[in-house]
Amino acid sequence: MKLVFTILFLFPFMAFSKEESKIRFGLNAFMPPYVIVDGEDFSGVSVEILEAVFVRAKLNYMLEAVSNRRINELFVSGDFTGALYLSDIKNLPIPVYFGPELIAFQNGFMCIELENCEKASVLGNDLKMAGFQNASKVMGDKFNRLAKSMKNYSELTNQKEQIMGLFSRRFDVVFGDERVLRYHIRHISQSSHLYSKKIKETKFFHKLYHHQTRRKIAFANREHRDIFVKAYSDLKKEGALDKIIQKYVNE
């Protein structure tokens, strides 16, 4: 009878421990083709890589997509125990254990007029520029000085709005990752009869920005990070991760 009682007592504890070990992983929303949000469903390069690694590592996880600003708040509060990308990492008040950099971002200026791309990096220029949310924080001191020197600089949460604004001439130049911006150009032209023909006839220029910020995924738990890194390395050696990237880049 004593043995039965001990086993029954352990069951709730085991269930609680399993739930506690689940990684609640925050995704930065509005980042296709890296993160594509469709209601409660997620896809994209980074999402598929994360899921493949979590499955290989046998880690219990759940994904949730929020804005760039919100992801930091939830990580610091402990609601998230993992994050795709954190901003302003030097000033985080808690320990952070960084994993691999899943994607090398190709950040730069995109314009319809080539001269605007050439002028965009000049301090104090009079161009109307839109960057992605928190770009002035994550892109380093040089870009931060550029953004502060401009009278007409703004940041948008949804990068589709950057392309719509560029095409409607509300912006002279937009700043972001080339794959993200070209994803929106392609999908706007496919989904909108109003813009389809005009966008296909428009030439977009892209000038890479020299400062490439390292955006590594983050964990609140060192053991989770170490297990993830091991599984990630194994899948990378097998070529499985390259196949995921090519699937979206070449679509």
pLDDT at position 250: 61
| Residue linked to tokens 């990378």 | 236
Handedness of CA 61, 98, 147, 181 (dihedral sign): negative
pLDDT at position 211: 61
pLDDT at position 212: 61
pLDDT at position 106: 85
Tell me what the pLDDT averaged over the chain comes to.
Answer: 86
pLDDT at position 140: 83
CA dist., res. 144 & res. 88, Å (int) = 12
Question: Which structural domains are found in the chain, ordered by start?
Answer: 2-103+215-249 (3.40.190.10), 107-208 (3.40.190.10)
pLDDT at position 69: 82
CB-facing half-sphere around the CA of 191: CA atoms within 13 A: 8
pLDDT at position 192: 65
pLDDT at position 29: 82
pTM of the entire predicted model: 0.74
Strand ranges across the sheet with 61-66: 61-66, 23-28, 82-83, 218-219, 97-98
pLDDT at position 229: 98
Structure tokens at 49: 């890589």
pLDDT at position 68: 82
- pLDDT by residue for the chain (251 residues), tens only, comes to 443 433 333 434 333 344 457 999 999 887 889 999 888 889 999 999 999 999 999 999 999 999 888 999 999 999 999 999 887 777 788 999 999 998 778 899 999 999 999 999 999 999 999 999 889 988 888 999 999 999 999 999 888 899 999 988 999 999 999 989 988 888 887 766 666 667 777 888 999 887 665 678 999 999 999 999 999 999 999 999 999 988 876 65
CA dist., res. 9 & res. 69, Å (int) = 42
pLDDT at position 16: 36
pLDDT at position 201: 74
